[in-house]
Amino acid sequence: MDMGVHLPGINFFVSTADPEKEPSPVTSNPILSILVAEYPVDKVACYVSDDGGALHSFQAMAEAASFATLWVPAILPEA
């Protein structure tokens, strides 16, 4: 029996406002950590709130997402 069936869903909220006060890694590193959590993928949601609406923050998160497609599968244990 799959133990993940009994786990609750988890929502993560990551917020950022000003890329000059909060450099991109301050926002992208927690998101990458969420992606590699040993938890059923269908039970995890990550929401990013950029209160400043900075283009730089958007571009940094797009880069983090691109990086994650290569990095996450490389470090997760095989199923």
Within 13 Å, how many C-alpha atoms sit on residue 3's CB side?
A: 2
Which 3 state secondary structure label does DSSP give 10? Answer: strand
Q: Of all residues in the chain, what percent are helix, strand and coil, respectively (each to 5)?
A: 50, 20, 30
Please report whether residue 64 resides in a domain: yes
Please report whether residue 5 resides in a domain: no
Can you give the residue range of the structural domain that contains 50? 10-75
How far is the CA of 75 from the CAs of 4, 39, 49, 69, 78, in angstroms? 20, 14, 27, 11, 9
Task: State mean pLDDT over 61-68.
Answer: 87
CB atoms closer than 10 angstroms to residue 16: 21
Please report whether residue 3 resides in a domain: no
Please report whether residue 24 resides in a domain: yes
Please report whether residue 14 resides in a domain: yes
How many domains, in total, are found in the chain?
A: 1
Please report whether residue 70 resides in a domain: yes
Q: What is the pLDDT of residues 8-61, one digit of tens each?
A: 999 999 988 888 888 888 888 998 888 888 888 889 998 988 887 788 888 888
Q: Which residues line the annotated binding site for UDP-alpha-D-glucose?
A: 15, 21-22, 51
Q: Which residues line the annotated binding site?
A: 15, 21-22, 51
Please report whether residue 1 resides in a domain: no
